[in-house]
Amino acid sequence: MSTEFGEHRLAVVGAGVMGTNISALALGHGVPVVLVDVDQATLKTATATIKQKLRHAQLLGVLPEGREQGTLTTTVNLLDVADATTVVEAVVEIPEVKKKVLGTASSIVSPGTTLISNTSCISIDEMAPWVDRPQELLGVHFMNPAYMIKMVEVIRGSNTDPAVLAAAVDLLSVLGRESIVINDSTGFVINRLLHPLINTAAMLVQEGVASAEDVDNLLEGCLGHSTGPLRTGDLIGLDNLVDSLNVLYKARGDESCNPCELLLQKVRDGHHGRKSGKGFYDYGKVA
């Protein structure tokens, strides 16, 4: 199934790190975006962030040449997603919050609209009862930064209609992404592997076995990890990481997913990683 990029109308709910990443990716590939969040101050900051990310993407040459950028519309009214062909939920990894957003969005959009959750760990089948038409729901796990990392994890729920899956993969192709489709499982592939690794790396620092730099350098130099687990945690956001670990721990009972005290303390202290200016590393003041 092939669709021209102009026929896609994307709505993104949640103007945080991933919401702005996904919006920048879509806009840079000519797809119009309606971005929804709870207040105008958040949306003003998000608009400036998206402009910065688009400039970064252009400088790196990761956007298609000669394609006019899509238009960005911001709103605090979820009713404004009604005309979208695809809605992406990109709110925090807290089931109650996702349930409210997905349930409301599914009641607003027309039948046949693709509903995507950018969930990190919550099972698509767990989310299915939250929406009016479970066959229209699937997961797409964009990596950060979404405009640079071309591969995406696409999660097919037990109820996902093959036509809806095909439409989502087609949109991702328009956005220049390579889709790997997997079956549903709490945490999926990436985060069932990655999140316990980051948690264990933090435990090693907590226990005084090694510094954050030494842990990361060993993973990079010996195992080829591109950034090291703790730098990756700072990029994800340590608050988001803890939320995801809690989901995994509750679902699977695996102690490697039980957030260690060092992670919890950093979140309590507001040291969430790059977005706050400090996590396992110091990034200076946040603009």
**So which residues are the catalytic ones?**
141
Element at 174 (helix H, strand E): helix 162-174
Location of structure tokens 């009604």: 82
How far is it, in rounded angstroms, from Cα 239 to Cα 230?
A: 13
List Cα–Cα distances, 151 to 32, 59, 140, 163, 229, in angstroms: 21, 20, 11, 21, 19
How far is it, in rounded angstroms, from Cα 64 to Cα 182?
A: 28
Q: Give me 130's structure tokens.
A: 């939250």
Q: Give me 257's structure tokens.
A: 């997913």
Q: Which of 235, 234, 230 is nearest to 200 (CA)?
A: 230
Neighbour count for residue 260 (Cβ, 10 Å): 20
Q: Give me 138's structure tokens.
A: 């699937």
Q: Which of 132, 198, 129, 197 is nearest to 158 (CA)?
A: 129
How far is it, in rounded angstroms, from Cα 34 to Cα 14?
A: 11
Location of structure tokens 């997905």: 102
List Cα–Cα distances, 2 to 102, 168, 172, in angstroms: 27, 11, 11
Q: Give me 94's structure tokens.
A: 């807290």
CB-facing half-sphere around the CA of 264: CA atoms within 13 A: 8
Q: For residue 151, what is the DSSP state?
A: E
